[in-house]
Amino acid sequence: MRDLVSLALRPLTQPGGLARFWRGLGAVTMLIVASANPVLAQAPVQKRVLGELCAKGVSNQVKGITNLLASVDAGQVDPSWGVEIFQALGDRALICGGDTPLIVSEDTVRLATTLEPTKRSPEKKQGAFVNLRLRSQLDMGVAILRLLSEPGGPTSAADLEQLRKRAEIAPVALIERAVAMPGNEAVAEGLRDILAVAALEDPDPAQRISAIKRLAEAPSARNLTLLLNLRDGLSDAEDGAIKGELSSGINKIRFWLEVGEVSATIYSGLSYASILFMAALGLAVIFGLMGVINLAQGELIMIGAYVTFLVQEALKVVAPGLLEYYLLLAIPFAFVVTAGVGVTMEVTVIRHLYRRPLMTLLATWAISLFLINATRVVFGTQNLEFVVPGFLSGGVHLFADFIVTWNRLFAICFALVVLGGALFVLRYTKLGMFIRAVTENRDMAGCVGVSVRRVDMVAFGIGSGLAGLAGLALSPIYTVNPGMGASFIVDAFMIVVLGGVGSLIGTAAAALGIGMINVIIEPLYGAVAAKVIVLLMIIVFIQFRPEGLIAIKGRR
């Protein structure tokens, strides 16, 4: 034993031996301490990464994020750990300083390296401030790591969107991994698109070409910008194949974007035309029948909108569960109430002005004045608030930035139903036959026994009811107040003048034409110019065809 100790102590007696002894003792001590503290022994990567994330300067922090992701790729670090760290950093819950970073939440304090609870107390209350650049990096990081740690999880769609937004900084390798992971099928396609964006910068020309091709397949304004930027950034020495692919890709996207724009314009025009059509239809029927221009038509539209409002308010009180469907439930009410108003007008006033169209013009104007002011007195002059039902908001994205919105679709479908219904009534019902007869030859119809006065009354009611429906259809889209009728009446008149008297198809065609022209011209020259141009076109048109688009030939 004495020999062993002397053997051990021998180095110490030699020159420098004492220093060597203390070094050895230190190493042994460290080993003992290290083995007692497992964290320090097992988390060198995490520590290093956390060190960078806690460093001063955003660039260092960004480097830390990149390194963390790289280490995930290398398998050194679990992606779920990365998610926690990123989220904590983003929430300012990662407290640096002290001997080891801590994550602080409401009730617990955890060690950042292992995520295990600890009794230590943090030095500061809040972590470092997160600026915008850091924020986007963090969001991106969380998104990709979540896709890796929870493939097919509830947040995948949102994560995909985040990655899309940050496609330029997304880590390609990790995305490829996420694509390959089973469970991520739903987002795989979207991820491949993102890879394509990244691949635009790939040194391998083949990759770039396939990336360009891929982007060209999904036309959107954003992809166009990406390709254009790429083209601007190309030097002359670049591969001709890439340039060619870029050109054709850009052209393709441009083409589809234009198609999308044209479609959007047509769609918008269709919906405006639908509303104009419904507003003008009642006017056309009444004018064709009795030669009466009903200047109160705009107010009938207004009444329809107000009735819809009342139904909405009633539902709020009586059956809140049905509130979503107030538009549909209001249909019969809007029709019946406005039809009633119309019939009252006909019986009390219009009937006595038989064959005096100019006087009926003045009389209907007086009625419109009355209706506007009566509504003002009862409801006040403010705009009405309408609830937008769930099934009418939003839309479906068809292609190239063209979205089919539901509220416009509702207006179009409604108008088509009304058109179909009107055509049906006119062609296949007895009432329709009487209406057509009286329109074509009033006196003769009376002579063969058609009760002309009754047909007048019923048709006036129907024409007014149609105006009420127009009011219902446009209440979710346009402002509603007592004076709203005036803005539709001029257009409705123009449609009647243009469309010819007594023809349903003529009215529809004229509404379509005027609606389209308005929508096309307005973004170019403004609303006033649109009205002026429409008026001028109608005047020119009438020069060549005074009877309108389609005139019913009949003996006057």
Stretch touching another protein by CB under 8 A, among 267-275, 287-295, 312-320, 393-401:
287-295
Q: Rounded distance, CA 215 to CA 212, Å?
A: 5
Closest CA to 101 of 81, 120, 73: 120
* Cα–Cα distance, 299 to 178 (Å, whole number): 61
Min dist. Cβ of residue 527 to another protein (A) = 8
Q: To the nearest whole angstrom, how small is the minimum distance from the Cβ of residue 375 to another protein?
A: 11
Nearer to another protein, 462 or 514 (CB): 514
Inter-CA distances, 404 with 192, 220, 473, 506, Å: 26, 15, 17, 27
Using CA atoms, how far apart are residues 20 and 27, in angstroms rounded to an integer?
11
**Of 230 and 363, which CB lies nearer to another protein in the complex structure?**
363
Q: Which of residues 130-159 bind another protein (CB under 8 A)?
A: none
Neighbours of 5 (CB within 10 A): 9
Taking the C-alpha atoms of residue 507 and residue 548, their distance in angstroms, rounded to an integer, is 10
Q: Minimum distance from CB of 387 to another protein (Å)? A: 31
Q: Is 285 in the site for another protein (CB under 8 A)?
A: no
Number of residues that bind another protein (CB under 8 A): 38
Smallest distance from another protein to CB 455, Å: 19
- Smallest gap from Cβ 377 to another protein, in A, equals 7
Q: For residue 471, give the nearest of 278, 283, 339, 333 by alpha carbon.
A: 278
Of residues 277 and 287, the one with the C-beta less far from another protein: 287
Token readout for 188 is: 């795989």
Nearer to another protein, 223 or 507 (CB): 507
Smallest distance from another protein to CB 521, Å = 14
Name which of residues 27 to 46 contact another protein (CB under 8 A): none
Per the CB < 8 A criterion, the answer to whether 71 and 47 are in contact is no
CB nearer another protein, residue 287 or residue 335: 287
Residue with Cβ nearer another protein (188 or 353): 353
Distance CA 386, CA 324 (A): 11
Q: Smallest distance from the beta carbon of 250 to another protein, in angstroms?
A: 39
CA 546 to chain centroid, in Å, comes to: 44
Q: How far is the CB of 351 from another protein (least distance, A)?
A: 9
Stretch that binds another protein, among 255-263, 332-340, 502-510, 528-536 (CB under 8 A): 528-536
Site for another protein in 335-374 (CB under 8 A): 349, 352-353, 355-359, 361-363, 365-367, 369-370, 372-374
Measured from the CB atom, the residue of 158 and 374 that comes closer to another protein is 374
Q: How far is the CB of 450 from another protein (least distance, A)?
A: 20
CB atoms within 10 A of CB 115: 15
Q: How far apart are CA 470 and CA 381, in angstroms?
A: 21
Distance CA 315, CA 21 (A): 91
553 contacts another protein (rule: CB under 8 A): yes
Under 8 Å between Cβ of 257 and 221: yes
- Do residues 142 and 83 make contact, with C-beta atoms less than 8 angstroms apart? yes
Could you tell me where the DSSP H helices lie in 117-155?
Answer: 132-149
Site string for another protein, 488-527 (x = CB under 8 A): --x--xx-xx------------------------------
Three-state SS at 289: helix
Q: Which is nearer to another protein, 122 or 485 (CB)?
A: 485
Question: For the chain, what is the largest distance between any 2 Cα atoms, rounded to a whole number of angstroms?
Answer: 146
Q: Which is nearer to another protein, 169 or 552 (CB)?
A: 552
User: Would you count residue 377 as binding another protein (CB under 8 A)?
Assistant: yes
Nearer to another protein, 48 or 531 (CB): 531
Rounded to whole angstroms, the Cα distance separating 189 from 76 reads 28
DSSP 8-state symbol, 117: B
Rounded distance, CA 369 to CA 544, Å?
35
Smallest gap, in angstroms, from Cβ of residue 360 to another protein? 8
Distance (Å, whole) CA 386 – CA 378? 18
Residue 379 interacting with another protein (CB under 8 A): no
Q: Measured from the CB of residue 296, what is the shortest distance to another protein in angstroms?
A: 10
Q: Which is nearer to another protein, 353 or 403 (CB)?
A: 353
64 φ/ψ angles, rounded to the nearest 5 degrees: -60, -40
- Cβ atoms of 187 and 157 closer than 8 Å: yes
Contact 86, 145 (CB under 8 A): yes
Q: Considering the rule CB under 8 A, would residue 241 count as an interface residue with another protein?
A: no
Q: Of residues 132, 378, 524, 528, which one binds another protein by CB under 8 A? A: 528
Judged by the rule CB under 8 A, the positions of this chain that interact with another protein are 287, 291, 293, 349, 352-353, 355-359, 361-363, 365-367, 369-370, 372-374, 377, 486, 490, 493-494, 496-497, 528, 531-532, 535, 539, 542-543, 546, 553
